[in-house]
Structure 1
Amino acid sequence: MGIGEVEAAKNRCKSVIRKIKKLPSTTASCHRTLLKLACSELSFLASLANDLSPQPLSVNIGHLESVVRILQLPSVTGVSRVCKPLPLIGGRVHVDIVCTLAKAPVWILVSDRNPRYISWSVSRHGGRGLRLRIEKVLAAARSATTLRPSSIILFFANGLPAFVYDKLKREFGALDFNFGLDLSMIDFDYDEELEVGWVNVVQTRSYGEAITVEIKLTDSCDSLAFSQPSSVIQPEVTELSQRDAFSYVLSSMRLHGHVQSEDCRVNFDTTALVALVSGISNGCAERILNTPQSELEIRFKGNTKFVIAQARSELQDSVLAEMGVVLAGKRGMVCQSVVSEFKELVSMYGGPNEKCRAEQLLKCLMVVSDNPSERMKALPTTRKLAMKNKIVFGTGDSWRTTTLTANAAFARAVAQTGMSLPTIDHSPRALTGD
């Protein structure tokens, strides 16, 4: 390997490291794993800088580039695990990305191999072929509980031999797949380390030959989200005033329509309902901050600091404005246990205006029975993974619906198990007695 090849490979590693640091939708653990792999590759290449003896170039650079390229796509969300084997009953299986696509959990396998060296059965060197690897991954997926995907996505960055592509379709029912964005577009990187005023635009690679297929898991559990849970209560359509932000958010929501379209639904937990009706979100923030500290301590007791912090947050970023963007055109749904908890909280701590807003809000939501998904029920119940939260988020999961929540601790705890769960975070707000 010449010095030029080593330097080019090192630049590719540096480009990948820059991209990893900017990745959205990944946990801190995923960032650490990717950075560790990229830095390890860079260190290996640096060790070759003064060694001019012929050596093969490490194949890990291209694989990392492809993984990061997929993670950059806006359709890839809820990434909970990357480039690590999954510890499952009966053994471990390597999966490159565990994430959410179109509200459904998926596993993504990435290959950067030259198509000439991708064999269907046993390779010429006695290694396992693609067929055996897929069979192992599918068996693991079907036996998994909390990490069980709805499908397996196979991404071949450099393409596939025609006969292998045909075998995937005929033997595993694989379907052509796209991520909602043309992956064949040339991937660019911007080197910001140049002198001020100049940016170096580097073409890192093209995926013009890439092939992506999806293998769906087709047993009865996969159709769970599409079999309507029992006891759906249709919302009452009401005339809402446009006089305030709260009424505007409700009137912008979808109050009727085809409930089986998961892209048109948002699942509310209790924190989201409270934030919508809270006096802090509905015009009381400035008044709270202008109230003497002593009066606030009498009114809110030990929660005074939290209420003040939320009021300051509200003046900087309106929760209703934030939620209005998320909820516009969407059908709001809520499970029965959330309704019960919300009503109890409002009756105990809500003021007359908050109670009125709560009544209006509940009339605009589709109420469904508590029906947590099997994978959520399979998670151990702990202090961080409380049963009531498993029911709420799990019901949303069974409908393949994103949950709107301020409960970041539960979302983190789920991600730490390796499960991919779609959520939308919002700032917390408390009831004020308004």
Structure 2
Amino acid sequence: MPVGLKKLYVMAHEEALIKLLERKVVDGEKLMETVSKINNVNGVQKLQKKVKQEVCFLLKVAKSKEARKEHLLCTNLHHFQALVSCLIASCDPLAVLQGFALTKPDGSSRRICVDIVTEKGQQWIKVIARNPKALSQLSMGEGEFGQRSIIDHAVEYLECAHQHPHLFKTPKVVFHFACGIEKALADRLALLGIIVSGRRLDMCDLPLQDPQSDDGVVRTCVSNSCAGGSRPGSVTDCYHEDRRLNLDVTAMLAFVSALTNGRCNSEFKEPILNQQAEWERARPVKPVLDRLFEGKSLFCCASAMKDFKSIVSTLGGPGEVCRANELLVRVTVVPNMVSPRTERRLKLGGKIKQRSLAVFNTGDALRAVTVSANEGFVRAAKCQGVEFAVFIHESRALTEGKEHGAKAEICDSKVEQLDAKVDSS
């Protein structure tokens, strides 16, 4: 081939690659816009950041005029497009790109990144946008040394899900294949316990290159698409078969407090009580707890009951003492229990206090959702790789004994009545 003709061919090839890169950049920008409209899903900002990094890299390559075919083949935008499509189609998604600690038999641990946590935490979805033929070859040991197959990933995902139950149930694990999967490989995954989503292909149908996912594939991501969905922390999130609740001291105090029982319109000397009174006027806690307790069996451990009785007898007013006695009739007290799942994994210190550990361990042993305002303990336990089934509510102190030094506030309705009288006169 003449040198001049060869140069023209190379230039035409580079221009075509740059156009493809620019088209991919436009797709990435559209994807960022789509992600920005997704609300109430943890990790969306992390996903946005990753997509933006891919777009910025492709823009940089396109401007440098040194585009290569590998830049198109190796971009993660294919994966993110499949992930976002699956996220939009999924039912009650809670999080994307959420990490979970997998503890191995030798005591070591590694992080597993779950693409989508859906069905209010009861289902994990891993999105795979790779060439189905390459997946099959890798699973048959035809990859390079050290390469992990989809079977290896499946075993890890299943073990990790077993170590992180949601409301005492192991989350279902779904592998969604955006480009399809060979039937024999899909059957192997199903035998392991993986729910396989995506088109199942015969060997002769396997494409040599990654096909573009279409709407038909996206719709197979999950069985049903749900509109709306409950926000994290709603009462419906605490439903599970045993219908048991384990009450922390904070939950019992909030339930009997004068603040939550119609006496939040006072100004106290203590700033913390004024803050809680303001919270209660804006977001009443008692109706939430009433709905949560309805039809449930209530339990608490011996340590929690001892401390609750001590606090009420020391700080409680007459009305709070009366309500505490009424609550105690409904609560079954059990000895402090140890949870085999958590006893060796949590170390005391910082927010991990002995009483809190007893309360949450008892709830875990009873397979009951723990109702608590101790969000610090929950976060600290999660940092150590332990997640509890918990319903978090806002804290409320006992305030009836402080009311003698408090100034009564004029509630908004009375202010409006006074204003109306002044205007009429």
TM-score w.r.t. the length of structure 2 is 0.66
Deviation at 1:151, TM superposition (A): 5.3
Contact 2:90 2:222 in 1 (8 A): no
Distance 1:340 1:100 in 2: 38
Say which of 160, 169, 177 aligns to 2:190: 169
Deviation at 1:275, TM superposition (A): 0.4
User: Residues 254-291 of structure 1, C-alpha deviation per residue, up to 9 Å, x if partnerless?
Assistant: xxxxx9824x33332111110010011112211x23xx
Other structure's SS at 1:376 match: coil
Deviation at 1:424, TM superposition (A): 2.3
- CA-based RMSD of the aligned residues comes to 4.2
Letter of the structure 1 residue corresponding to residue 375 of structure 2: A
Letter of the structure 2 residue corresponding to residue 261 of structure 1: E
Which segment is superposed worse, 93-102 or 315-324? 93-102
Distance 1:142 1:317 in 2: 36
Contact 2:124 2:171 in 1 (8 A): yes
Does residue 320 of structure 1 match 2:286? yes
Contact 1:98 1:420 in 2 (8 A): no
More helix by share: 2
Distance 1:81 1:414 in 2: 20
Deviation at 1:345, TM superposition (A): 1.2
Distance 2:116 2:25 in 1: 33
Distance 1:100 1:392 in 2: 27
Say which of 250, 257, 261 aligns to 2:241: 261
Q: How does 1:297-336 map to 2 (within 5 A)?
A: 297=269, 304-336=270-302
Matched residue, 1:61: 77
Deviation at 1:82, TM superposition (A): 2.2
Contact 1:95 1:109 in 2 (8 A): no
Distance 1:98 1:333 in 2: 36
Specify which structure has the bigger relative contact order, considering alpha-carbon pairs within 8 angstroms and separated by 6 or more residues: 1
Deviation at 1:84, TM superposition (A): 7.6
Contact 1:105 1:420 in 2 (8 A): no
Which segment is superposed worse, 265-274 or 407-416? 407-416
Contact 1:275 1:430 in 2 (8 A): yes
Distance 1:346 1:132, change over 3 A: same
Give the greater-gyration-radius structure (CA): 2
Contact 2:102 2:112 in 1 (8 A): yes
Does residue 275 of structure 1 match 2:295? no
Matched residue, 2:149: 129
Other structure's SS at 2:262 match: helix
Contact 1:268 1:405 in 2 (8 A): yes
Does residue 112 of structure 1 match 2:129? yes
Say which of 377, 395, 399 aligns to 1:410: 377
User: Residues 61-104 of structure 1, C-alpha deviation per residue, up to 9 Å, x if partnerless?
Assistant: 34345556559966555x69725875765555452239987898
Q: How many residues are treated as equivalent by the alignment?
A: 343
User: Residues 167-199 of structure 1, C-alpha deviation per residue, up to 9 Å, x if partnerless?
Assistant: 1233x2x16489xxxx99xxxxxxxxxxxxxxx
Matched residue, 2:361: 394
Distance 2:196 2:301 in 1: 33
Contact 1:17 1:39 in 2 (8 A): no
Matched residue, 2:33: 15
Distance 1:364 1:102 in 2: 32
Distance 2:303 2:391 in 1: 20
TM-score w.r.t. the length of structure 1 is 0.65
Structure 2: give runs of 5+ residues left out of the alignment. Answer: 1-16, 200-213, 224-238, 402-425
Letter of the structure 1 residue corresponding to residue 140 of structure 2: S
Deviation at 1:321, TM superposition (A): 2.2
Other structure's SS at 2:395 match: coil
Letter of the structure 1 residue corresponding to residue 362 of structure 2: T
User: Residues 224-254 of structure 1, C-alpha deviation per residue, up to 9 Å, x if partnerless?
Assistant: xxxxxxxxxxxxxxxxxxxxxxxxxxxxxxx
Distance 2:289 2:277 in 1: 17
Distance 1:3 1:101 in 2: 33
Matched residue, 1:192: none
